[in-house]
Amino acid sequence: MENISVEEVKRRMDAGEKVNLVDVREPYENADFNIGGTLLPLGQIQSMQIDDIEDLKEQEVILYCRSGNRSGQAAMFLDAMGFKNTKNLVGGMLAWEDKFGR
């Protein structure tokens, strides 16, 4: 797992780059505000219910949550499951909102 900044992710998204975003928050958090990631709550990752992203094992996967804690845990779980390139969005949606708003 590596860390990635909100600025880097936003720059890449704005440039039209395909980024594999995974939101590990709960559905109500995702419904309130999200940046387009696949919703896969941490609990599902911990119980290895990862069918929605199984095909991304060899690709970069950027995980995010509210503050960066749950996504860091999720990245470690995915690493242990054989994912090769996980990145944790530092500061999560709090940092995103602070920098770019909603």
Q: Looking at the DSSP assignment, which residues form a beta bridge with residue 86?
A: 61
- CB of 60 closer than 8 Å to CB of 19: yes
* Catalytic annotation present for 68: no
User: What's the CA gap between 68 and 49, in Å, rounded?
Assistant: 21
Which listed residue (61, 65, 75, 89) is catalytic? 65
Assess contact for 42 and 88: CB atoms under 8 A: no
- Cite the active site residues: 65
